Amino acid sequence: MHIHILGICGTFMGGVAVLAKQAGHRVTGCDANVYPPMSTQLEAQGIDLTEGYDPRQTGLAPDVFVIGNVVSRGNPLMEEILDRGLPYVSGPQWLAENVLRDKWVLAVAGTHGKTTTSSMLAWILEYAGLQPGFLVGGVPQNFGVSARLTDSPFFVVEADEYDTAFFDKRSKFVHYRPRTAILNNLEFDHADIFPDLAAIETQFHHLVRTVPGNGLILANGREESIKRVLARGCWTRVEYLAATPGWQTSEQSPEGAFDLRLDDERQGTVQWGLLGEHNRHNALAAVGAARHAGVPPQVAAEALDRFVNVKRRMEVRGVENGVTVYDDFAHHPTAIHTTLQGLRARVDRARILAVLEPRSNTMRMGVMKGRLGESLAVADRVFCYAPPSLDWDAAAAFEALGQRAGVYDDLQQLTDAVAAAARPGDHVVIMSNGGFGGIHGKLLEHLKAARG
């Protein structure tokens, strides 16, 4: 089969492309922004890429066009496909019908932690010798790739609640039909497509409806939103996370060790270098899901000892002049808060400098602006990039932080300000769900030059 993917350079659609190629299909694709690293990764797989959406791409005559959710009505290639009545399908539907069919799907859903938890789960199954396939929204460093197809019956998928396509407004995850489903947490997000939390809860209940009776749901026992979802109807056994009865962890020791418990019985001990209660919670979800697939918790704990976190999740980008620079994907107030709390627990009284780019659709709309000051309060200094295109007053959002916070509309001025403020022993956390203009490298170069 020849498939041509519209919007191929997105993380999800790029993963679909890799899986399709590994399955033996001919894969081509196009996007408005064909650039590294995704373009080079796809080209290394032998996938031909086209810049833009020229209608003449219909001349490639694929068996089907696979449509990413970045494509909308008015897109010239999509309009040509519609006018000519050519076959098309969404990315999630193609994945479900051509990759996930006949697989034991382990789906990881939630507002936060999907990529990390999916990566943990895939690694646990790999460590146990089950060789799972997977598709996640980042690069698990234990694997070095974001997607892989194997002959294993097990497949781990990051189950995103974002909509499927312009012609299918259901969440992506309703296509996946998991046997094992993790509901890690549930808060309001994606304000560009959901009017309120209740609308997202409805989509999560659609997911719950697809899990078979002999499957398993691992659900956050602390979240009222998830309790409401399950109260609407659940036909599957549920194991709760961070609850009794259910899965729990002990506090983490200074050396990074903590116990895993199920119904107050110790299941194993993990010792790792990850930060924060949120990552211990992610570990619980992964261990519980792996147990459903037949992996003993003690084996899962051993695997997590060797887990290397996903790129862009508190990834140390470098140390210059005694200043440690981290890259973190946090783009929601809850994720920002838990990330900084985890770092504070590790570095004690050392200074934390938080550098934020409000880049996600929800952030740019200003929906979460009222929570940003509180989420960043643990930092000693806060630097926010607020270009003229930002739709809200960032300075007003950080008023409660007083002189600790600064807002900049110029990226170079922001970089200079962070470099001037940093001193040996500081920890600089750069938070964005995009490239942030390469600020990580620029800042490290600036600090290196200051060292002389």
Q: Specify the pLDDT at position 452.
A: 57
Most confident region among 244-253, 272-281, 365-374, 427-436 by mean pLDDT: 244-253
Q: What is the dihedral of CA 87, 88, 92, 95, to 10 degrees?
A: 40
SS3 at position 254: coil
Q: Report the CATH fold assignment for 2-91.
A: Rossmann fold (3.40.50)
What percentage of the chain has pLDDT greater than the value 70?
96
pLDDT confidence tier of residue 451, bands split at 50, 70 and 90: low
Under 8 Å CB-to-CB from 31, ≥6 apart: which residues? 6, 7, 8, 9, 10, 49, 51, 70
Q: Is the pLDDT of residue 192 over 70?
A: yes
CA–CA gap between residue 190 and residue 200 (Å, rounded): 9
CATH architecture of 315-451: Alpha-Beta Complex (3.90)
Q: Lowest-confidence range among 273-277, 329-333, 376-380? A: 329-333
Report the side by side order of strands in the sheet with 315-320: 315-320, 323-328, 427-431, 352-356, 381-385, 405-408
Q: Which amino acid, one-letter code, is at 310? A: V
Looking at per-residue confidence, does 215 or 399 come out higher?
215
79 Cβ partners below 8 Å, 6+ apart? Answer: 55, 73
The yes-or-no verdict on residue 191 having pLDDT over 80 is no
What is the CATH superfamily name and number for domain 102-305? Mur-like, catalytic domain (3.40.1190.10)
Q: Which residues contact 340 (CB under 8 A, 6 or more apart)?
A: 352, 354, 375, 376, 378, 379, 429
Asked if 242 and 221 count as a contact pair (C-beta separation under 8 A), the reply is yes
- Distance between CA 133 and CA 105 in Å, rounded? 9
| Number of residues in the chain | 452
Q: What is the pLDDT of residue 43?
A: 85
Task: Give residue limits of the domains in the chain.
Answer: 2-91, 102-305, 315-451
The half-sphere exposure of 222 on its side-chain side, counting CA atoms within 13 A, is 10
Average pLDDT for residues 162-174, to the nearest whole number?
A: 95
Residue pair 67/88 in contact by the 8 Å Cβ criterion: yes
Work out the number of other CB atoms within 10 angstroms of the CB of residue 380.
Answer: 15
**418 touches 392 (CB < 8 A):** no
Q: What is the pLDDT of residue 338?
A: 80
pTM value is 0.80
pLDDT of residue 29: 96
Dihedral sign from CA coordinates of 427, 410, 436, 370: positive
Contact yes or no for 93/164 (Cβ under 8 A): yes
What local confidence, expressed as pLDDT, does residue 367 receive? 66
Residue with tokens 């300075």: 395
Cα–Cα dist 143/162, whole Å:
25
**Average pLDDT, stretch 48-69?**
96
